[in-house]
Amino acid sequence: MDKVRLALRVNGEPVDLAIAPNRTLLEVLREDLALTGTKHGCELGECGACAVLLDTRPVLSCLVLALECEGADVVTVEGLAQDARLDPLQEAFSDCGATQCGYCTPGFLITAKALLDERPQATRAEIAEALSGNLCRCTGYIQIFEAVEQAARRISDE
Amino acid sequence: MMRAGRFRYHVASTVADAAAALADGGPHARLLAGGTDLIPNMKRRQDTPDLLVSLRHVGELRGISVNGETAIHAGTSLDDIVKSAAIRAVHPALHRAASQIASPLIRNTATLGGNLCVDTRCNYYNQTFEWRKSIGFCLRGPVPDGICWVAPSGRRCWATASSDSAPALIALGARLTLLSREGERDIPLEELYADDGACPLTKRADEIVTSIRIPSRVVRSTYWKLRRRGSIDFPALGVAAAIRPGPHGVIEDARIVLGAVASHPLLVPESQLLIGRTLTDNVIEEFAEGAARHARPLDNTDFAMTWRKSVARSFLSGALRELRGDDPSTFPLLARETALRNGWRFE
Ligand SMILES: Cc1cc2nc3c(=O)[nH]c(=O)nc-3n(C[C@H](O)[C@H](O)[C@H](O)COP(=O)(O)OP(=O)(O)OC[C@H]3O[C@@H](n4cnc5c(N)ncnc54)[C@H](O)[C@@H]3O)c2cc1C
Ligand code: FES
Ligand code: FES
């Protein structure tokens, strides 16, 4: 298959590649850009492990063809920390035990990041709704909701 | 890694450009809107297009206007529809259907046009290529002699119509505009659907859904969805109901539609019989019993089919009671939970 040129920004850095049209954003992030923080789960849109921000909206990178991201701004979990400082969500996930095996965590962080950017005062019901496309087999979700609430408080205190 | 087969990729800049690319591309060209149905289907080799025409940069396909008549461009994301205060106020059935499609992550990319054209589903078909190969595939191919595993003696495909927005929009009396290189035509939404699981749409492959229009008549409407989990899952049953009450609660118009119980969204013919009547308990129960007879769920989706049929009756009755103004907390358990779930989320 003929490769097609693709230019986008990933975590603020310009990226220029040549790829086959059938490759998803998930594959390109993990395999070409070695950004393996974004997880490869079901590949069919059912688990949320592959969520990334595409022009500030959280989307499933396993369902987005990489070529659809021409000119776009993509943020992965690697892009959340600012210099050496973790994002308040990352700190809160660690403090609240919102991570066990950790496979779902990058997807939750990205989805929660988009929620708090849009609604810093999100209620528990809004948090549950926003995260309802992310599956976690370990935590039982409560710690995740608590972590998002704690991060929201930290952000508003800053 | 499951990966789609090979295809060429064209980024359309305008609707006219997309129509030309589709017409030139022939029968194996497909539109790519959000890709949330098409990409999984391509990964499983249920669909093997050789050209994808991307609508992502076609700005003219996005937007909602509620100004008397409601017009929604086909490329509008489901998330934009869910967040539209006007849609929520004027067309609750559409708001509720859209807000229960897939998950919030999917609704950020998924479009309304893609939802109306979403492929039919079946437990024997929505499987990986290797899975389907192990049972000798099915009537839908790719081998020519496959059988339908749901109804092996027949020669038709019974895959289930699985769009949530289609029943809601049909109940609301929506029409849609189709555009191709040959020109434009306008049809009632129910005419988009053929009762054939393998070939569910009546439109030509080169026609693009450009807009969906809902008339401004004042109606009360709702949508009830049955699925295993409160998120992500496709409907195992959908009931959309829209009524126009006149003076003294006498019904002037009624359109009740069943989803996920046939290969097309099913506009219940007895809806007409509600016109001129008021929604008394007897009228509701009689209607629900008759309308549920049209629901012939097969063993090709989630839950036991006999149970789904019984839920159809209970949802039909619950939806009409809700439109009458009953308090959902008095409904039987499943109906109560369904009604409250609609409300809990967004109102
Ligand atoms: C995990 C998961 C859960 C899901 N749950 C649900 C659910 O609960 N309810 C539900 O209804 N759907 C569900 N879906 C299916 C899908 O996400 C939605 O139907 C979505 O709205 C499809 O829109 P899209 O823009 O992504 O379509 P695409 O995948 O881009 O397209 C779907 C089909 O429509 C055609 N098409 C797209 N736009 C147009 C147009 N303008 N004119 C003509 N043809 C067009 C495409 O060529 C393709 O054949 C689910 C999907 C996944 C992966
Ligand atoms: S890997 Fe994308 S949703 Fe599961
Ligand atoms: S921490 Fe293991 S899946 Fe969520």
Residues A9, A68, single domain; the answer is yes
Of A54, A79, A104, the position where a domain reaches its end is A79
Structure-block tokens of residue B177: 């505009």
Could you tell me the CATH number of the domain that includes residue A47?
Answer: 3.10.20.30
Structure-block tokens of residue B92: 């609750």
pLDDT, one tens digit per residue, over A10-59 is: 999 999 999 999 999 999 999 999 999 999 999 999 999 999 999 999 99
Distance from the B238 Cα atom to the nearest Cα atom in chain A, whole angstroms:
20
Residues A134, A109, single domain; the answer is yes
Disruptive mutation site among A19, A30, A65, A135 for chain B (greatest number of B CBs within 10 Å): A65
Residue-averaged pLDDT of chain B = 94
Structure-block tokens of residue B198: 């393998």
Of A79, A96, A116, the position where a domain reaches its end is A79
* Average pLDDT for B106-133: 97
Residues A20, A58, single domain; the answer is yes
- Residue identifier of the C-alpha nearest atom 2 of ligand 3: A101
Beta carbons within 8 Å of B58's beta carbon, 6+ residues apart: B12, B13, B14, B15, B18, B75
pLDDT, one tens digit per residue, over B234-262 is: 999 999 999 999 999 999 999 999 999 99
* Average pLDDT for A76-102: 96
Residues A62, A92, single domain; the answer is no
The CATH superfamily assigned to B226-341 is CO dehydrogenase flavoprotein, C-terminal domain (3.30.390.50)
Give ipTM to 2 decimals: 0.97
Residues A75, A92, single domain; the answer is no
pLDDT higher than threshold 50 for residue B345: no
Going from the Cα of A65 to the center of ligand 1, the distance in angstroms, rounded, reads 15
Residues A98, A65, single domain; the answer is no
Could you tell me the CATH number of the domain that includes residue A113?
Answer: 1.10.150.120
Of A17, A52, A79, the position where a domain reaches its end is A79
Is the CB of residue A21 less than 8 Å from the CB of residue B8? yes
Q: Return d(Cα B269, Cα B258) in angstroms, integer.
A: 11
Domain(s) labelled CATH 3.30.390.50 in chain B stretch across 226-341
Query: Percent of chain A, pLDDT > 90?
Result: 96
Residues A63, A113, single domain; the answer is no
Residue A29 belongs to what domain range?
A: 4-79
For the stretch B161-173, what's the b/e string if a residue is b when 16 or more beta carbons lie within 10 angstroms of its beta carbon? bbbbbbbbbbbbb
| Closest ligand 3 atom to Cα of A137 | 3
Are A60 and B43 inside 8 Å of each other by CB? no
Least confident of B21-30, B141-150, B264-273: B141-150
What's the number of CA atoms in the CB half-sphere (13 Å) around residue A85? 3
**Would you report the helix, strand and coil content of chain B in percent, each value rounded to 5?**
35, 20, 40
pLDDT higher than threshold 60 for residue B343: no
**Would you report the helix, strand and coil content of chain A in percent, each value rounded to 5?**
40, 20, 45
Number of domains in chain A: 2
Domain(s) labelled CATH 3.30.43.10 in chain B stretch across 1-59
Going from the Cα of B124 to the center of ligand 2, the distance in angstroms, rounded, reads 22
Q: Return d(Cα B53, Cα B9) in angstroms, integer.
A: 6
For the stretch B75-100, what's the b/e string if a residue is b when 16 or more beta carbons lie within 10 angstroms of its beta carbon? bbbbbbbbbbeebbebbbbbbbbbbb
Which of these CATH numbers, 1.10.3720.10, 3.30.43.10, 3.90.79.10, 1.10.10.10, describes B1-59? 3.30.43.10
Residues A74, A93, single domain; the answer is no
Are B109 and A60 inside 8 Å of each other by CB? yes
